[in-house]
Amino acid sequence: MNDCSQIDLDQELQADKKIVLAGNPNVGKSIFFNYLTGIYVSVSNYPGTTLDISSGKMGDAAVFDTPGVYGVGSINDEERVARDFIMSADIIINVVDASHLERDLFLTQQLIDLNKKMIVALNMMDEVKKNNITIDLEALEKELGVLVIPTTAAKNRGLDQVKNSIEKAVCGNDIFEFNSELKTEFEKIKSKSKNEAEALMLLEEDENIRCRYSELKDIPDLREEIYTARRRRVDEITAKVLTYDQNSSQVARKIGSYMLKPVTAIPMLLVLLYLMYQFIGVFVAQTVVEFTEGYLFAGLYEPFMRNLIANSIGFENFFGQLLAGEYGILTMAVTYIFGLLLPLVAGFYLLLSILEDSGYLPRIAVLMDRLLQKIGLNGRAIIPMLLGFGCVTMATITTRLLGTKRERIIAIFLLGLAIPCSAQLGVIAGLISQLDVFYILVYVLTIFAVYVLAGTFLNKVLPGESSDLLIDLPPIRLPDLKNVFNKTYQQTIAFVKEAGPIFVLGAALITVMQKTGLLALITRFAEPITVNWLGLPAATATAFVMGIIRRDFGAAGLTAIALTPAEVTISLITLTLFVPCIAAMMIMVKERNFKEAVYIWFGSWITAFVTGGIVNLFIF
Amino acid sequence: MTLADMKHGNKFIIDKIEDKSTRLQALRFGISEGSEIECAGSMPGGPVILKKNLQEIAVGRRTAEKISVKKKGMI
């Protein structure tokens, strides 16, 4: 991205008036957005997982939902996106978490300093009450100089007042009224820039805005002075309007603090992982999949399809085989996607949405920080790593939230190498749960060892060191079920759209390779590796060829081959470490570059076969 | 004394935050030099959790070592 770049607003929404929703992460902006526009968007609890901008219409005005930020600036992608929307807004609705006024008012004051017409929606008033906090609304309104409307969006309270008060938006009391030195500097720059908002950003050392004013020399660097003055002003306001009654003790707070004490937090995390395994690996991967794949698809759908093809274009020709043969597009590919993977992926996203919306994820980040530091990452990296168990492609994009380029390279490589995605994990869980504990341990420990060794190696080889953790911990909340289901549904649909075409293409490719004899040739040539080195039946080569297209496709291919427990374990280890899927590769090229993606690809080949062979030699 | 020495339940005042970008980020979260803070937990060898009213922030160990603090009442 070039430094001066600006976000292109959707052409259709170039309305006369732009209303922008702005606020810290997890304050409920999206609920306001839905109310104002009537379009659903996903609301998530972890700072930084909604980079998509939602837009909609309210009468003649366009409404935009921006990513949650703690301030307007260019620290990360979220801020840059939010900044450009905020600066182009006609009216801002600032959604504030009333139970975190000290934190949230910093952004509010900054929006006021940008000289934007705005109103404040003081959200989560129910939590204020629960925590025995009193807020003097009139005093707050007077200090800020803008309209303040108390709301509890999750319970539908106050939303209508916000909607009806948009026209009453005004500019508030900026910090320059309280600081004559800064005011002088501000007036000087204001006369040279397009508007107040850009003048403020210039003084706050925002690189992108400064870049657009490259002809302006001698702009004073006043970010720290302005931030300090703003913080002082906010502290002054909160001192006037807030009264705490600290006697309250809350169940959610207690749980939150137990999640951060190693003695209680580690057992809690282990129990959680066990429950997740029971749900995905046992309930979904066996009970549900047995019904969907075994009964619905293999039992009812496939025979029906084969009959249909046999009676129309005939079964014993190339097209018949292509459509309904062993690797048929209409048989195998459809069964894999809908019968096998769909339930697994949906189950995984359901769990992840619950974790996200409950506020537990950042606490896992704190817990894992020390370990992740050892492989050159920090606690924040737990987010892309966990997301990677859902879909490596999506997780690769979220590595943007990591602080440095070095961390991104390490995270992307580890994602591509050792994190199996939900689709693959589901197939693996299904295969592995039939094995003894010993084989499961061998599998888990091998993958874990490779992950740690690769991370440690990269941490040693790449210059520099990991950056340190500094994150906000959102309160523990009971997730809103409607929101959780909606999010699961959207992500599952996205998965089918992404994986579907690749599966169909892959199935077609395998059929062509089989019919032309190429598959047999590869199987024979791969024999020294598969049979001698890995100790597997020659037929597993097919699964590896399938794995190049998609890893879960490969793992699914294994289910069709009869293997001993040791063979299952080795082939799963090799396939897990094997090349990332085509979609993930394309994203890696886009996010990093072609050279790094190719390194990752070949690095995975080598790691996969070397590790598989070592396990074969020493353990079995 | 630095933030890294704080234990659960300790109450203290932030004296100095050396690193500029940490200082600026902390200002946004509501924590600045002179703030009265409570330690809400500390991972052995890992992050320290700060609490100011209802706001909780996790600070990595290395950063915590660079933030000097003083006990309440000490000047």
pLDDT at residue B2, as a whole number: 92
pLDDT at residue A314, as a whole number: 84
pLDDT at residue A165, as a whole number: 95
Q: What is the pLDDT of residues A284-320, one digit of tens each?
A: 877 898 899 889 998 999 999 999 998 988 888 888 8
Mutate to test the interface with B, among A78, A135, A263, A366 (most CBs of B within 10 A): A366
A24 is in an annotated binding site: yes
Q: Do B29 and A256 touch (CB under 8 A)?
A: no
Per the structure block, which two tokens stand in for B70?
A: 């003083």
Chain B residues closer than 8 Å to A75 by CB: 25
- Collapsing DSSP to helix, strand or coil, A387 comes out as helix
Return the domain boundaries, chain B: 3-71
Other C-beta atoms closer than 10 Å to the C-beta of A245 total 9
With a CB-CB cutoff of 8 Å, which residues 24-63 of chain B face chain A?
Answer: 24-30, 32, 40-41, 43-47, 49, 52-63
Q: CA A539, A545, A551 angle in degrees (round to 5)?
A: 110
pLDDT at residue A519, as a whole number: 83
Measured in angstroms, the CA of B12 and the nearest CA of chain A are apart by 17
Q: Do A468 and B32 touch (CB under 8 A)?
A: no
Other C-beta atoms closer than 10 Å to the C-beta of A221 total 10
pLDDT at residue A138, as a whole number: 95
Residues whose CB falls within 8 Å of the CB of residue A432, separated by 6 or more in sequence, listed in order: A281, A439, A440, A443, A568, A569, A572
Other C-beta atoms closer than 10 Å to the C-beta of A452 total 15
Q: Are the beta carbons of A605 and A578 closer than 8 angstroms?
A: yes
Q: Where in chain A is the domain with CATH 3.40.50.300?
A: 11-244
Q: Which amino acid is at A436?
A: D
Q: Are the beta carbons of A69 and A472 closer than 8 angstroms?
A: no
- Give the count of alpha carbons within 13 A of A95, CB side only: 31
Q: What is the pLDDT of residues A14-60, one digit of tens each?
A: 667 899 999 998 888 878 988 888 754 444 433 333 356 777 888 88
- Give the count of alpha carbons within 13 A of A577, CB side only: 28
What's the CA dihedral at A241, A245, A246, A251 to 10 degrees?
-100
| Rounded distance between C-alpha atoms, residue B6 and residue B14, angstroms | 12
pLDDT at residue A48, as a whole number: 38
Query: Which residue among A102, A133, A470 places its CB closest to the CB of B60?
Result: A470
This prediction's pTM = 0.78
Nearest Cα to Cα of residue A574 among A362, A424, A371: A424
Assembly ipTM: 0.90
Instruction: Tell me which CATH code domain B3-71 carries.
Output: 2.30.30.90
A559 is in an annotated binding site: no
| Rounded distance between C-alpha atoms, residue A405 and residue A425, angstroms | 28
Per the structure block, which two tokens stand in for A9?
A: 């607003």
Chain A residues closer than 8 Å to B43 by CB: 260, 262, 366-367, 369-370
Name the CATH code of domain A11-244 (choices 3.30.300.130, 3.40.50.300, 3.20.20.70, 3.30.1360.170).
3.40.50.300
pLDDT at residue A273, as a whole number: 85
pLDDT at residue A58, as a whole number: 84
**What are the residue ranges in chain A where pLDDT is below 70?**
1-15, 39-52, 246-249, 583
